[in-house]
Amino acid sequence: MIVGTVKEIKNHEYRVGLTPESVHELTAHGHRVLVESGAGEGIGAHDALYEKAGAEIVATAAEIFATADMIVKVKEPQAVERAMLRSGQILYTYLHLAPDPEQTRDLIASGATCIAYETVTDASGGLPLLKPMSQVAGRMAIQAGATALEKAHGGRGVLLGGVPGVLPAKVAVIGGGVVGFNAAQMAAGLGADVTILDRSPEVLEKLGMYFEARAKTRFSNRANLAECVAEADLVIGAVLIPGAAAPKLVSAEMLKTMKKGAVLVDVAIDQGGCFETSHATTHADPTYIVDGVVHYCVANMPGAVARTSTYALNNVTLPHALRIAELGWKEALRRDPHLREGLNVWDGKVTYRAVADDLGLPYSPAEEAIA
Ligand SMILES: NC(=O)c1ccc[n+]([C@@H]2O[C@H](COP(=O)([O-])OP(=O)(O)OC[C@H]3O[C@@H](n4cnc5c(N)ncnc54)[C@H](O)[C@@H]3O)[C@@H](O)[C@H]2O)c1
């Protein structure tokens, strides 16, 4: 198969669909890989590295869209890219179609086979191609929070781990899923005094067994949240109710009970945020202050660590890319019902029910596509 990767053109997107190592795997399996010149610059992977891995460097995205059987990307195709997609071509990338009628319309019109990373599942019902970005964001949340706690950034001048003779900072992590677990791991590793709140008894039990004495777990209800938030130096917002806007767990009233210079990192901001006073910020200007409390609410945290994020993403996307390249998309989807869940648009039809329902479009089951 001819597989192509283009330079991401979305604003401030530095990740890339295929690393040189992934290209090497594909070419070792006998596939031809086309890489747009400069596609890997954002992660420090120059054209020469891709060439060494067996890729052919191509000057323009247009040539790749015209030649490749499968395009492997990171972000959803932008309008100019969608215009270059061809009928029958495979597009394998994050799509997030439900809130994006324009993109959905263009993908339908293209006739391409569009497989979305974010809806591919695994045997435990998880979303394995979304998980690495939550791991990155969870870990980054502690770095971002630690920086914001410094005086120069408006924080109360507290070192997360303290030093011998001085108590560590109190960190409250609201939501103990992938983001929360990774945030708690980092905070506990730095020696902070960590409490994780969740409302799922199973999640609390797992966290309790994993962390033992290194972090406390607490059931998430109003009273416990209010107490933890008032005492915390750093609060991480990491809740998710799948498919719904994040619940506003920390109200503007609760914020007034917090210490001046305390920090809120609202990772759930991409779902609207779980603090009432949150609004989305960017890496260029990540924080603002309300009632003396520093808010960090960057909606695309993994973008700041494009290299780590690209490698983490490739670890989970490459095995499917290899199978699609080897078997063709139909057979790969026939054999793997979890990858089949990734099919969002095919031959001008929406094949993912939630996207069809949200956009009021007819739904055509993925099973029909592979029949
Ligand atoms: N800002 C970013 O760059 C970025 C990056 C990755 C993920 N995210 C977001 O982070 C959020 C968390 O993602 P995740 O992968 O950890 O989700 P997850 O499903 O793994 O975990 C969410 C957890 O929240 C818990 N929860 C739900 N309601 C709660 C409540 N009222 N109180 C306490 N806990 C509650 C659930 O039980 C679950 O354990 C999502 O909104 C996700 O989109 C943001």
In this prediction, residue 309 carries a pLDDT of: 97
- The best mutation among 14, 240, 295, 296 to test binding of ligand 1, ranked by most ligand atoms within 8 Å of the C-beta, falls on 240
Angle between helices 178-189 and 131-148 (to 10 degrees): 40
In this prediction, residue 175 carries a pLDDT of: 98
**From 69, 266, 270, 295, the catalytic residue:** 270
Q: Kindly give the residue spans of alpha helices, DSSP state H, lying in 190-247.
A: 201-211, 222-231
Which residue ranges does the chain devote to CATH 3.40.50.720? Answer: 2-120+305-370, 131-299
267 Cα–ligand 1 center, Å: 8
- Asked about 96 being catalytic, the answer comes back as yes
Gap between the Cα atoms of 101 and 129, Å rounded? 23
In this prediction, residue 241 carries a pLDDT of: 84
In this prediction, residue 285 carries a pLDDT of: 94
**From 96, 100, 336, 338, the catalytic residue:** 96
Q: Which helix (H) or strand (E) holds 270?
A: none
Is 297 within 8 Å of 279 (Cβ atoms)? yes
Gap between the Cα atoms of 121 and 366, Å rounded? 14
The DSSP call for residue 275 is B
Give the residue among 238, 232, 236, 227 at the shortest CA–CA distance from 262.
232
79 Cα–ligand 1 center, Å: 30
Residue owning the nearest CA to atom 38 of ligand 1? 177
218 Cα–ligand 1 center, Å: 16
Hey, which residues does 2 pair with through a beta bridge?
32
193 Cα–ligand 1 center, Å: 21
Residue owning the nearest CA to atom 33 of ligand 1? 198
In this prediction, residue 370 carries a pLDDT of: 96
Cα 62 to chain centroid distance, Å, stands at 27
The CA-based angle 197-198-202, given to 5 degrees, is: 130
Strands 287-290 and 234-237: what pairing?
Answer: unpaired
Gap between the Cα atoms of 210 and 202, Å rounded? 12
DSSP 116-162: EGGG---TTS--TTTHHHHHHHHHHHHHHHHHHTSGGGTS----TT-
Is 73 within 8 Å of 95 (Cβ atoms)? no
Give the residue among 162, 126, 160, 120 at the shortest CA–CA distance from 143.
160
Q: Which residues contact 326 (CB under 8 A, 6 or more apart)?
A: 1, 29, 332
Q: Which residues contact 103 (CB under 8 A, 6 or more apart)?
A: 76, 77, 82, 95, 97
Which atom from ligand 1 is nearest to the alpha carbon of 242? 19
- Other beta carbons within 10 angstroms of residue 256's beta carbon come to 12
In this prediction, residue 243 carries a pLDDT of: 64
Burial of 167 (0-12, 13-18, 19+ CB in 10 A): exposed
User: Any residues with Cβ below 6 Å from ligand 1, and which?
Assistant: 133-134, 137, 174-180, 197-200, 203, 220, 238-241, 246-247, 249, 267-271, 299-302
Which atom from ligand 1 is nearest to the alpha carbon of 302? 3
Residues 169-207: b if buried by 16+ CB within 10 A, e if exposed: bbbbbbbbbbbbbbbbbbbbebebbbbbbbeeeebbeeb
Gap between the Cα atoms of 303 and 300, Å rounded? 6
CATH of 131-299, one of 3.40.50.720, 3.40.50.620, 3.40.50.2000, 3.30.540.10: 3.40.50.720
Distances (CA, A) of 334 to 318, 368, 370: 18, 11, 6
Gap between the Cα atoms of 214 and 207, Å rounded? 10
- The best mutation among 15, 134, 224, 225 to test binding of ligand 1, ranked by most ligand atoms within 8 Å of the C-beta, falls on 134
70 Cα–ligand 1 center, Å: 32
**How does pLDDT run along the chain (371 residues), one tens digit per residue?**
999 999 999 888 999 999 999 999 999 999 999 999 999 999 999 999 999 999 999 999 999 999 999 999 999 999 999 999 999 999 999 999 988 999 999 999 999 999 999 999 999 989 999 999 999 999 999 999 999 999 999 999 999 999 999 999 999 999 999 999 999 999 999 999 999 999 999 999 999 999 999 999 999 999 999 999 999 999 999 999 876 678 999 999 999 999 999 999 999 998 889 999 999 999 999 999 999 999 999 989 998 999 999 999 999 999 999 999 999 999 999 999 999 999 999 999 999 999 999 999 999 999 999 99
Which atom from ligand 1 is nearest to the alpha carbon of 246? 41
Q: Which fold has domain 2-120+305-370?
A: Rossmann fold (3.40.50)
Quote the tokens at residue 102.
């324009």
Q: Give the 3-state DSSP-derived string for 72-102, with helices as H, strands as E and coil as C.
A: ECCCCCCHHHHCCCCCCCEEEECCCCCCCHH
In this prediction, residue 105 carries a pLDDT of: 98
Cα 50 to chain centroid distance, Å, stands at 25
Give the residue among 53, 59, 45 at the shortest CA–CA distance from 26.
53
- The best mutation among 254, 267, 313 to test binding of ligand 1, ranked by most ligand atoms within 8 Å of the C-beta, falls on 267
